[in-house]
């Protein structure tokens, strides 16, 4: 009896998961149809309903960003393009549309150029997603097992020599790949950056409404989140300016 109940329960769970996936696919298709028909409000409603069910993907954020952009909401368009790129740094369409959306923003901030090795690190880190780095780890691991097998099982000195050399190189590559994997995982799960959604906000020099003004920023600007106190967050702009803004004026990437 217990076995039958377990089997029925598993069938029910798997069947529910399949139906849920089908429902999400239908909602996505309906949203795409609304977008093609220039019914952007309805497209946004469909895409947002998918997010509310806990499903996220680079393509979903990309479609949502396009819909918000067509609807004239530059801030949310930029937010969703950034989220799309966070999940898939190689998404060229999202990167291109993000540049177009950023061109529509009011603030034109001169970014402080990063140190060269930090720039190289970012380029390497965003070459693959965490899933991509995981696949590479698996490939290097298989190569390592092959090298070990060749070294111990083959009685040819020359082959053993090459197997040893490639094994050492493979271990080094595996270590670096694991580092990139965890760094990529940390990047994808981080909440360090935000996009301003309010049309205009005055940043303060301290987390207090009555404190002096630090600077004024407008919708769509990206900033780093450095601290949080009650309903205020400390932000840092790409040009180095620092100030405090209310938590209800932005959303996290």
The size of the chain, in residues, is: 253
Please tell me the number of Cα atoms within 13 Å of 32 on its side-chain side: 9
Q: Percent of the chain beyond pLDDT 90?
A: 68
**CATH class, 193-252 region:** mainly beta
The whole model's pTM is what? Answer: 0.74
Domain ranges of the chain: 2-103, 116-189, 193-252
- Kindly report, residue by residue over 150-169, the tens digit of the pLDDT: 999 988 999 999 999 999 99
pLDDT at 141: 95
How far apart (Å, rounded) are the C-alpha atoms in residues 10 and 83?
Answer: 34
- pLDDT mean over 123-133: 83
Q: Is the pLDDT of residue 19 over 70?
A: no
3-state helix, strand, coil in the chain (%, to 5): 60, 15, 25
2-103, CATH topology level: 1.25.40
Per residue in 187-244, pLDDT (tens digit) is: 877 888 999 999 999 999 999 999 999 999 999 999 999 999 999 999 999 888 999 9
Q: What is the pLDDT of residue 87?
A: 86
DSSP characters for 53-106?
TT---HHHHHHHHHHHHHTT-HHHHHHHHHHHHHH-TT-HHHHHHHHHHHHTSS
């Amino acid at each position: 009896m217990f076995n039958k109940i377990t089997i029925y329960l598993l069938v029910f769970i798997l069947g529910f998961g399949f139906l849920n996936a089908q429902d999400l696919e239908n909602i996505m298709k309906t949203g795409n149809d609304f977008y093609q028909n220039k019914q952007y409000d309805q497209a946004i409603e469909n895409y947002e309903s998918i997010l509310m069910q806990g499903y996220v993907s680079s393509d979903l954020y990309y479609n949502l960003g396009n819909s918000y952009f067509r609807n004239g909401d530059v801030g949310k368009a930029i937010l969703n393009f950034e989220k799309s790129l966070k999940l898939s740094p190689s998404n060229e369409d999202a990167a291109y549309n993000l540049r177009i959306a950023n061109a529509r923003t009011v603030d034109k901030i001169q970014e402080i150029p990063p140190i060269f090795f930090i720039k190289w690190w970012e380029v390497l880190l965003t070459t693959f997603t965490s899933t991509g780095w995981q696949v590479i780890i698996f490939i290097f691991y298989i190569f390592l097992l092959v090298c070990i097998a060749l070294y111990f099982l083959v009685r040819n000195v020359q082959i053993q020599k090459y197997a040893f050399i490639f094994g050492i190189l493979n271990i080094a590559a595996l270590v670096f790949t694991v580092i990139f994997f965890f760094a990529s995982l940390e990047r994808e799960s981080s909440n360090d950056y935000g996009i301003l959604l309010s049309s205009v906000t005055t940043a303060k020099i301290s987390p207090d409404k009555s404190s002096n003004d630090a600077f004024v920023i407008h919708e769509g600007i990206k900033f780093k989140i450095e601290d949080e106190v009650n309903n205020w967050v400390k932000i840092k702009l790409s040009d180095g300016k620092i100030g405090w803004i209310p938590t209800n004026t932005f959303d996290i990437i």
